[in-house]
Structure 1
Amino acid sequence: MEHSLQKCGAEPEEIAAVVAHIEPWIYDGISTDEIHRRVFSFLKKSNRVQASKYSLKRAIFELGPTGYPFERMVGALLTHKGYKTTVGVVLQGACVEHEIDVLAEKQGNVYAIECKFHSDSKRSSNVKVPLYINSRFLDVQKNWNSNQSKSTHLKQGWLVTNTRFTTDAISYGNCIGLTMLSWDHPKNNGIPRHVDRFGLYPITALTTLSKHEKRQLLDKGIILTMEIEQQPEVLKELNLSSGKTRKVLSEVHQLCHM
C-alpha cells in the first residue's frame, strides 16, 4: 500500500495519514482489492488528484469492454514520444491482410504495434501472444519492405498490454527483438511511468465524473483527460452544473500538468 502511494506521488505525511486511517480496518485475510477500495475512498475525500493517480490501473480496465480506447491511449503515448501515429490500419502482408492496432513512424522507420487489452486483472499475455504477433509482423514486413513505392522501412513489431506478460513471453520477446510494454514491464518503466511522464490519464481516472458521464464521453471518442483540457466544450453535452464543470476542469488540469 505504501509503495503504491509513493508511486502515485503522495507526500510522506499524506501516506502516514492514509496508513493511520486504513490500519484499523486491516484484518487477516483481507483482500488487496478491499484495501485498494478503502485507500481510494479515503484519498477521494482528501486529495482527488492523488486518488485518480492511485486508481490508474482500475481506470484503464474501465476503458473496456473493447480495446479501441486503449489503442487510442497507446497511440497518444507514442505521439508524445515523437512518433507519427495512426490507429487501426489494415496492411497487406505477403500472404494475407492484417489489422494493425497502431502504426508508428519516426525518422523513416515504421513500427507495427499490437495492443492486447484485458478486462480481467488476473489475465496475463503468455508466450503464444508474441509468437502470434511476430508471425503477423513478419508477413507484413516482407510485403512492406519489398514494395519499391515505400519510402519508409518497416523495422519492428511491438506488443503492449494493460496487464502483464509471463516470463516465457518476455524471454521470447527479448530473443526476437520485440519491444514489449505492460503494466510492470520493463521494470520501473511500465505503463504508469509513461502515463505520469506525459500526463496521459484516461478520463476513467477522474473522480469528479460519474461512471455514466465517463461512458458518455467514451462513446463520443473522448479517451484522455488531455482531450477535455483541449476541448472543454465537450463537457457541455453532459449538462453539468457550472460548479461541477469547474471541479472537473480543475482535476483535469492537475492530472495533465502534475
Structure 2
Amino acid sequence: MGNTDVNIIKSSGEKVKFSLDKLRNSLQRTGASKNSVNKILDVVRDELYQGISTKEIYNRAFALLKKEHGHFASKYKLKKAIYELGPTGYPFENFISAILKYTGYETSTGEIVQGDCVKHEIDVLAHKNNTTTIVECKFHGEQGLKCNVKVPLYINSRYIDVKSHWNKNKNKTTQLTAGWVVTNTRFTEDALQFGTCVGLHLLSWDYPKNEALKDKIDSLGLYPVTVSTLLTKREKQFLLSRDVVLCRDLINDVFFLDHLGISEVRKVKILKEIKALCDN
C-alpha cells in the first residue's frame, strides 16, 4: 500500500491522506540524524492501516525516537507537553511569561488592571523599553480545539478599555502599546483575519510562520518541564505547582529534584536529558 493511499484520522475527527513529509519534518525538527529519521519512517510506514489516528502514528514515532535518542524524543513530544501544562491554564501563563522574560521583558502574571469602564485581570503584563504589552493566554487541554473569532473580539475590547485608562494616567511610567493573544492550539481563519485587522499580535502553535510558539521554544531552548521523558506525571505536577515551568530552571537549582526524593542516579539522568535539550 503506498503511503499516500492511507486515510488517517486527525484529532478533530477529520479524515486526511497520510503525509510522510509532514512526519519527516516533525522528526527532523528535533535535530535527529537523517539516518535515524529514515529508519523511523520505514517502520511507521510499514505499520500504517486505513483509519489509523494521527495520535497512534506520532506515539509510535515517539517510542522509536525515545529508544534511540532520549532528548530528541523530548523535543518531538513538545506539542503534547504543552497540553500537559493544564488543566487550569495557569502554568501556561507562567510558561508564556517565562518566554517573554528570556526575550528581555519584565513580566508579571494575574495582575488586576483598571480600565476606563471596569477592572480586568490580565494573564501577563510585559514591560520593555518604556512600553507595556498585555498578553492574554487561551489554553486548550486537548487537541483539535481552535481559537475562534470570539477570542480576539473579546480580548480587543479589554485591550481598548485598559489602554485608554493606562495611557492617560500620569502615574504610569510606560505607554501601553500592544495587545497579544497567545494560544497553544491554532486560530481559525476568522480569528486571524479579525486579530490582524485590529492590530493585535497573534501567537499560536504554528503562527506566525517561523515566529510561532514552537519556533520560539526551539530557538530559545525554553522547554517546559512536561517534555521530560524521565520525570513521572506526579513529579511534573509537583514542579508546576511550585511554579517551576522551564527545564532550564532545574539545571541551576536541583532543590526541587532533591525535595522530590529523586535518587542520585535518576537525578544525573534527568539533568543530562534537560541539559541536552536546552543546549541543543
What TM-score bracket applies, with the shorter chain setting the length?
over 0.9
Among candidates 166, 181, 203, match of residue 159 of structure 1 = 181
Q: Which letter does structure 2 place at the counterpart of 1:185?
A: Y
Q: Distance in 2 between matches of 1:115 and 1:246?
A: 34
Q: 1:181 aligns with which of 191, 203, 218?
A: 203
Q: Which residue of 1 aligns with 2:7?
A: none
Q: Name the structure 2 match of 1:132.
A: 154
Quote how far apart the aligned CAs of 1:63 are. Answer: 0.5
What's the CA shift for 1:8? 2.1
| SS of aligned partner of 2:107 | strand
TM-score, normalization: structure 1?
Answer: 0.97
Q: Report the residue type matching 2:263 in the other structure.
A: S
Find the counterpart in structure 1 of residue 34 from structure 2.
Answer: 12
Alignment-mate amino acid for residue 265 of structure 2: G
Q: Distance in 1 between matches of 2:126 and 2:72?
A: 32
Measured after TM superposition, the shift of residue 17 of structure 1 is 1.5
1:199, 1:232 → 2: CA distance?
19
Q: Return the letter of the residue paired with 1:204.
A: T
SS of the counterpart of 2:193? Answer: helix
TM-score (norm 2): 0.90
* Residue 94 of structure 2: aligned partner: 72
Distance 1:65 1:246 in 2: 30
Give yes or no for the alignment of 1:109 onto 2:131: yes
Match of 1:247 among 269, 272, 279: 269
AA aligned to 1:77 is I
| Residue correspondence of structure 1 range 1-258 to structure 2 within 5 A | 1-258=23-280
2:266 alignment partner AA: K
What CA deviation, in whole Å up to 9, does each residue of 1:162-220 have, x standing for no partner? Answer: 00000111111111110010001002321111001111101110001111221121222
- Post-superposition Cα deviations, 1:54-84, rounded to whole Å, max 9, x if no partner, equal 0101000001001111111111111111111
Identity %: 47
Gaps of 5+ in 2: 1-22
Alpha-carbon separation, structure 1, partners of 2:199 and 2:241: 36
Aligned-partner Cα distance in 1 for 2:201–2:31: 28
Name structure 1 gaps, 5 residues minimum: none
Across the aligned residues of Structure 1 and Structure 2, the Cα RMSD in angstroms comes to 1.0
Tell me the residue number matched to 2:9: none
Is 1-10 or 116-125 further displaced after alignment? 1-10
Which whole-Å CA distance do the structure 2 matches of 1:45 and 1:10 have between them? 12
CA distance in structure 1 between the partners assigned to 2:32 and 2:66 by the alignment: 13
Tell me the secondary structure at the aligned position of residue 71 of structure 2.
Answer: helix
Q: Secondary structure at the match of 2:266?
A: helix
User: 1:107: Cα distance to partner?
Assistant: 0.8
**Structure 2: how far apart are the matches of 1:219 and 1:70?**
12
